[in-house]
């Protein structure tokens, strides 16, 4: 039980201490990575829908971060190819998401 309370305390602390975006602080506009921290916190809380809305690439990025060390340890047959495909898909998701933000003028 105390581990759960400690975990909740960590989440609350993270929410109160998010890093600021240098691009946004200088221009007032979101950068292509803005929303990632909030998205990961929503994901940790179990709110998948809100996490996706905040930053659609967060779940694939986390999956890739978990897959790469596993590939390095176990040397999967097509691991390197999958990593390259994942990088390309993540870049495409980020590009499409940022383009959508620009198109809808949702750059805060």
Nearest to 64 by CA among 21, 94, 38: 94
Q: Output the pTM of the full model.
A: 0.88
Q: What residue spans define the domains of the chain?
A: 2-103
The span from the CA of 52 to the CA of 107, in Å, is 17
Q: For residue range 4-45, list pLDDT tens digits in order.
A: 767 778 888 989 999 999 999 999 999 999 999 999 999 999
């Amino acid at each position: 039980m105390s581990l759960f309370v400690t975990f909740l305390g960590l989440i609350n602390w993270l929410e109160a201490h998010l890093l600021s975006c240098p691009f946004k602080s200088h221009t007032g506009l979101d950068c292509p990575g803005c929303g990632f921290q909030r998205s990961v916190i929503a994901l940790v809380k179990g709110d998948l829908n809100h996490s996706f809305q905040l930053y659609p690439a967060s779940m694939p990025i986390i999956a890739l971060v978990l897959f790469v060390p596993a590939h390095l340890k176990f040397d999967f047959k097509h691991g390197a190819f999958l990593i390259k495909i994942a990088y390309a898909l993540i870049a495409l998701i980020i590009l499409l998401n940022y383009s959508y933000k620009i198109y809808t003028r949702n750059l805060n």
